[in-house]
Structures are given as C-alpha cells and as structure tokens.
Amino acid sequence: MLKRKWPLSAWIQPLLAVLIGLTGGAIAIVLIGGSVADTYAQMWKGAFGNFYFFTNTLTRATPLILVGLGVSIAFRAGFFNMGSEGQMILGALSSALLALYLPGPPLLKLLVAIIGGIVAGGIWSAFAGWLDAKFRMNLIITTLLLNYIAALFAGYMVAYPLKDKTGSAALAQTMMVDKAVWLPKLFQGMSIHAGFIIAIGLAILLYLFIKYTVAGYEIRMLGYNPLFAAYGGVNRRKMMLTSMFVSGGFAGLAGAVEVLGMQYRYTDGMISNPGYAWSGIMATLLSGAHPLGTAVAAVLLAALQTGGMGVERNTNIPLEISSVIQSLLILFVTAKFSYTLWKRRKGGKSDAASS
C-alpha cells in the first residue's frame, strides 16, 4: 500500500506547496509594487544564474540536506526530532575543538573531528530518546528545550574559556582551524566543498538502506503501524534510541562540515542565525521524509534563500520575500501534517511519537 501511495504524494503535494508559496510571494510582490516576472527572474539568477551562484546554492543546501536526512530517519520511525539545531550546534563545537586541539596528522584530525561531531549530535539526540523511554517525557518538548541548552552552553564556552583572544574581541568564537584540516573545495575559487559530496552520498545510501534492508523495513513499519511492528517483534525502545542517535548524528555531521568546510571555527550564532536546522526540517516535511526528495527539497529551499539575496541586490523588493514564500510552504506542510496526524488519532491508531 505504501508503494502505491508514494508516487502521488511524492510529486503532487510538494509541487502544490511550491505553487502556493510562489503564488503568495507574487501577491506580496504586487502589494509592494514590484514586477512579479522580474522579481522571480532575479531570484532564479541569484540561485542558478551562473556557475558561481549555482555552487553557492549547493553550498547553502549542504547542511540542510544532512539535517533533513537525520530528521527523516526519526520521522520514518515515528519519532519527532525537533532538536536538530542543538544537535548541530554541539556537533559544530565538538568538531572545532577536536580539529584545534587533537594532536596528530591533518587527515587524522579531520576524520576524528567529523566523527566527533557525529557522536556529539547523536548523544544529545539519544538523550532525548532516553528521557522518553525512561520517564515518558514528551519527545517534541524535550528536543525543543534541549536546543536552548545546547545553544547557551556553546555560547558560554566560546565567550569565556574557549574564546579566541587573538582576534576580534567583539566576537565570541574559537580560534581558526588550521588550513590543513579544512574540507577540500570542489572547485577553485568556489565555496562548495567536499561536504556536499558527503551529503549526496549519504542521501543515496539512506534511501537504499530504508528501501532494501531489514532494519529499514522495521523503521518504516514502526512509523507506519506501531502496533503491527510490536507484534512483529520490533523493540520500540531500542529502535527509538538507535534512530534518535542516528538522527542527531546527521545533524552533528551538518555542524561539523559547516565548521570544517565553510566557517573554519565555531562562532556563537553561526548555526542558529541562518536557520539551517529549521530549513532542514522543512525539507523533510516537504518531501514526506523521502531521503532523495529531502535532498531535492533542501536545494529548493537553499535556492529561495540565495535567490532572495539576488532579488535584494537587483530590485527594490526586500530579501524577506523569500521568507514569505518559505513561510507559506511551512504553513501548507504543517496543515497537511496536522490533518494526517488528526486522522491517525481519530482512527484509533497509536502514535509512536506522542506516547
């Protein structure tokens, strides 16, 4: 039944969401007094107009893809991981510290920094799963609240004990990672780095894992029908802890590649201010938690963000027009998601995420 329903929901619903977003954006542009055709043309050019802009869009999409893949695992298993921001922050901070202070050759430091980011994000996420399994604490609430703890902790660390006192005293940040530990750029003079290849490779591997492995089948079945999964011998507690660890690990990896591929240090607010985590969650919801669809949706959302910068540069339309479009996408997807959840509960089905 899932196979019969997937193609229709995979194409019609996301396209409808995009159409609603673009329509709402067009209305806002008209109210401002701008040209819809010119604004959207400039948005396209700002995102895909030349190779430089195109690679900027893919660079922006890289952390969104990784966060979205992690969230899709939890969602597929029926758990709502809303803590990607905190997991990404701790992954970024851990990666920066390992890259700075771990002794050894650059390649070893790079690999350990990446793994450290994955583990930090995974543990933070699994902690929320443990609170649910042990104390029945609502997973949505705990993951949301843990975001604040992670952000404030990381902010304190880079503002006081780990602050770079050799640079600008106005910024709370670590020292810069040695250039030998940076992720390599894919093209000279472009921002896109090896993290994008990692993200696309993991999207393909996750798709194959979910579709063709026994563990992937158990994840899908637990999310779709928890009672049937329990009857079939799936251990909900073990699956929750595992899926939440992997989900947070992807977010931690997103933070690690942002540090090692773009920022080269951890700066307070570098994860929260751009909204990487929430855009990644949006990509997951837009794609129906399909790994390959999540990658495509992440590129679309990144294009809205980078294209919005082109609009502001070349027209009198403000950058916030892209936020209007994204907000309408979120509104549509949230309404659809809430309706689906309401139907499940009305039908008497147990919800793994709400228990």
Contacts of 111 (CB under 8 A, 6+ apart): none
Number of other residues whose CB lies within 10 A of the CB of residue 20: 16
pLDDT by position in tens, the chain (length 355) = 334 345 555 567 778 888 888 999 999 999 988 899 999 999 999 999 999 999 999 999 999 999 999 999 999 999 999 999 999 999 999 999 999 999 999 999 999 999 999 999 999 999 999 999 999 999 999 999 999 999 999 999 999 999 998 865 678 999 999 999 999 999 999 999 999 999 999 999 999 999 999 999 999 999 888 888 888 888 999 999 999 999 999 999 999 999 999 999 999 999 999 999 999 999 998 888 999 999 999 999 999 999 988 888 888 888 888 888 888 888 887 776 666 666 656 654 444 444 4
* All structural domains of the chain: 13-346 (1.10.3470)
pTM of the model: 0.92
Structural contact between residues 221 and 234, judged by C-beta atoms closer than 8 angstroms: yes
Largest Cα–Cα separation, the chain = 61
